[in-house]
C-alpha cells in the first residue's frame, strides 16, 4: 500500500497550480509506480489500483504536457492554451472547472523549458 497524498488524484481532475511542477509531478508518480503497489491511496478519491491512478494522474499530466509542447512549438500563446485537447479526461469530476486553468498553468511552466 502506498499513501500517495496529492501526487495522485482518482476520479477527479487534478489541479495544476502556479507553484506546481508538472514535470516533477510526473517524476514523483513514476517513483510511486516503481514500487508496484497493489493499492494506491490518493490525496483525492478512493483507494485504487496503480493502473487507475496512472490513468487519472500520470496519463492526464503527460497528455497535457504533450499537447502543450505542440501548442508552444506551433507558436501558440497562453490565451490559446485553453484549447489544447484534454477531452480524453472529460469524464473526471471538476474537468470543466479545472481544465482551462490547468492548461494555462502548464503553458506558463513549459514556455521557457
CA distances from 102 to 3, 50, 61, 106 (A): 24, 23, 9, 6
If we measure between CA atoms, which residue out of 52, 63, 62, 57 comes closest to residue 87? 63
List of E strands, the chain = 2-9, 40-44
Q: Where are the domains of the chain?
A: 2-110
The residues facing 93 across adjacent strands are 12
In the DSSP assignment, the letter for residue 56 is I
- The pLDDT confidence band at residue 47, using thresholds 50, 70 and 90, is very high
- The pLDDT confidence band at residue 43, using thresholds 50, 70 and 90, is very high
pLDDT at 62: 99
> pTM to 2 decimals?
0.95
pLDDT at 64: 99
pLDDT at 23: 97
Give the residue-averaged pLDDT of 54-67. Answer: 98
Amino acid at each position: 500500500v502506498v499513501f500517495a497524498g496529492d501526487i495522485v488524484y482518482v476520479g477527479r481532475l487534478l489541479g495544476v497550480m502556479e507553484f506546481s511542477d508538472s514535470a516533477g509531478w510526473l517524476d514523483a508518480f513514476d517513483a510511486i509506480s516503481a514500487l508496484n503497489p497493489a493499492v494506491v491511496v490518493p490525496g483525492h478519491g478512493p483507494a485504487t489500483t496503480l493502473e487507475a491512478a496512472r490513468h487519472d494522474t500520470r496519463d492526464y499530466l503527460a497528455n497535457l504536457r504533450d499537447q502543450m509542447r505542440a501548442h508552444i512549438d506551433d507558436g501558440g500563446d497562453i490565451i490559446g492554451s485553453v484549447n489544447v485537447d484534454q477531452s480524453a479526461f472529460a469524464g473526471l469530476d471538476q474537468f470543466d472547472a479545472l481544465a482551462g486553468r490547468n492548461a494555462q498553468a502548464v503553458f506558463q511552466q513549459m514556455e521557457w523549458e
